[in-house]
Amino acid sequence: MWINKPAQAEEEVKNKVSKDLENDQVKLLTKDNFREICLHLKRNSSVSWQLLQYMAYLDAEGISVDFIISLMGLTREELQKHVNELKRMSLVSVGGARG
């Protein structure tokens, strides 16, 4: 869920996100904390970050898992691991047919 936080709470949000990421959980995704999330991904899981980048430049209505596997040269199990990481941060979801 995206919620715009007031500017004065920015520091508080950053601290919360860092703590949440350390604790392996992010429950609230906001525009303000997105930068922190990117930083976390870049530092700790470059493949997940790359997956998110690729997804950002493709159609937002959903990408077939088989296509992503071919695109990234990953096994299904490896992809699962990175998808789980992005799901944990509420960045991606796994779902049904287009639309």
Partner 1 sequence: MLGGPEDEKRLKITHRIVQEETKQALMKEDVTKVKVVLEKLLREFNSILNAVRKNDDSYENFCDLIPHAKTLINEAKTMDLIIKERAMLIVVLGWHYRKTGDDEQALDYWTELLNNQKLINALDSTNLFKARLLQKISKAYINLEGEENIRKGLRSAEDCLQIFQRDFPRNHKEIGLVFSYMGNAY
Q: Maximum Cα–Cα distance for the chain, whole Å? A: 44
Task: Work out whether 70 is an interface residue with partner 1 (CB under 8 A).
Answer: yes
Distance in angstroms (rounded) separating the CA atoms of residues 43 and 59: 26
Q: Which of 20, 48, 83, 85 binds partner 1 (CB under 8 A)?
A: 83
Instruction: Name residues contacting partner 1, limited to 16-45 (CB under 8 A).
Output: 29, 31, 34-35, 38
What DSSP string describes 22-52?
A: HTT------TTTHHHHHHHHHHH-HHHHHHH
What's the closest the beta carbon of residue 79 comes to partner 1, in angstroms? 6
7-15, 19-27, 66-74 -> range binding partner 1 (CB under 8 A) = 66-74
CA dihedral 72, 99, 93, 45 (to 10 degrees): 30
Query: Which residues make up the interface to partner 1 (CB under 8 A)?
Result: 2, 29, 31, 34-35, 38, 52-68, 70-71, 76, 79-80, 83, 90-98
